[in-house]
Amino acid sequence: MKISSVKIISLLFFVLSAFYLYTANQIQVFAFDVNSPFNAKTFPIYLGYAGMFFAGLQILLPEKSVEKVNHKVLDYKKVIYLVIIMIFYGLTILKVGFFLSTSIFLLLSYYFLGERRWKLMLIFSFPFVAVFMFLLHGALNIYLRDPLLKYLGIIG
């Protein structure tokens, strides 16, 4: 019996999601946030369960057809670039802050994935992150540490 690569990848994703769920349960929340319907743990926990559910479905359900992948046409250079900028993003988010590091991460991701329209890239990086931060800070009262915006006096 041959096990397909899709089943192996699904099993790895299931294990990764289970580990993510375990670490999500270790997130500490403020005392006043423990019984609130949405806190720092809520989304990561649901994300871990969803990952385990969909990976489990992929493992248990039969495959319709096995697809052959031509590895010669895949662009592994883009994947390596994305992994490098993800590592850079992870290293800089605490020092630089969420707004600038996420915006630069999105900008570089668009560029390395082949987008060359700078106006579109800028619209979907900086303003998008600004709206997302406004929703987190203004609507959901979730505080993200951001030294740059604190220095500029935008957030307290």
Task: Tell me the per-residue pLDDT of 118-132, one tens digit each, with 9 for 90 and over.
Answer: 999 999 999 998 898
Same domain, 52 and 106: no
Among 84, 141, 140, CA closest to 108: 84
Q: For residues 33 and 90, what is the distance between their CA atoms, to the nearest angstrom?
A: 26
Residues 6+ apart with CB under 8 A from 17: 48, 50, 51, 52, 55
Amino acid, single-letter form, for residue 21 = L
**Greatest Cα-to-Cα distance within the chain, rounded to the nearest angstrom:** 63
- Of 34-38, 57-61, 78-82, least confident by mean pLDDT is 34-38
Same domain, 137 and 84: yes
Same domain, 76 and 149: yes
Tell me the average pLDDT of the chain: 85
Same domain, 40 and 78: no
Q: Please give the residue range of the domain that contains residue 141.
A: 71-156
Is residue 17 a contact partner of residue 44, using CB atoms and an 8 Å limit?
Answer: no
Amino acid, single-letter form, for residue 28 = Q
State mean pLDDT over 22-43: 78
Last residue of a domain, one of 48, 68, 88: 68
pTM of the predicted model, to two decimals? 0.65
What pLDDT is attached to residue 84? Answer: 95
